[in-house]
Structure formats: C-alpha cells, structure tokens
Structure 1
Amino acid sequence: MSSLMVKELELIEEFRDLSLVCEVTPKSVKLGILKLTNPFLEKIMECQKMDERLMKKLVLINEGK
C-alpha cells in the first residue's frame, strides 16, 4: 500500500509541475498549459466595442429583435 501512496505523491508532484492555468466559467472549468493571443484580434475586439452601429445592432439582438 505504501508503494501506491508514493506513486500517488509522484503523480501529484508531476501534475503540479505542469503549471496548468485554470479558468472557471459558469458552464465549465478549463485547464490549459498554453494560451496564445493574437494582438490583431484583440485590436478588432476593442474597436468593435466602440462601433456605435454594431453596438445598436447588438442591443437589438439581445432584445430578440
């Protein structure tokens, strides 16, 4: 039994060494090691937030129209 406990501790240490990123959302828990970002896409998302026409359409969509 002690050999099982040793193996369990080794696995826990290996898991800890992975440095996983944990993201909790209302519908899921996401674990990941690598997160890639695209500055171009981030810039598009920022600009979309300032686009009045797009925001008006988003409001209509959220109202079900």
Structure 2
Amino acid sequence: MAKELDLIEEFRDLSLVCEVTPRSVKLGMLKLTNSFLEKVKECQKRDRKLSEKLVLIDEGKEDDF
C-alpha cells in the first residue's frame, strides 16, 4: 500500500487532477505538449510568405500548397 501512496504523491506533484476512492485512483486533465511544435506554430504566424500563400488559397487564386 505504501508503494501505491508514493505513486499517488508523484502524480500530485505533476499537477494532475487526482481523485482517490476506496476502490480506485482517477487521474484527469493530462495535457502533453511539444515545445518544438509550439515554436513552429508561432513562427508560422509570423512567416510573411506563408501568410500570403494562405490568403491566395482563401481567395481561390491558389489551390496547391
């Protein structure tokens, strides 16, 4: 039982929603992110050529991406 309690404490340290019931432990709201993908998204927002291409696609003047 001590091992299980240690595991629960480790999950609490991860800031997860943790609900302990007499028969189970429920964890929720787990969100995994990739900082590289977040950086790519931010750079894409500032990319002038990409923005111009997206405008042409929206206007129907370009259909290939």
Q: Higher helix fraction: Structure 1 or Structure 2?
A: 1
Shorter chain as normaliser: what TM range? 0.3 to 0.5
User: Under a length normalisation based on structure 1, what TM-score does the superposition of the two structures give?
Assistant: 0.48
User: Under a length normalisation based on structure 2, what TM-score does the superposition of the two structures give?
Assistant: 0.48
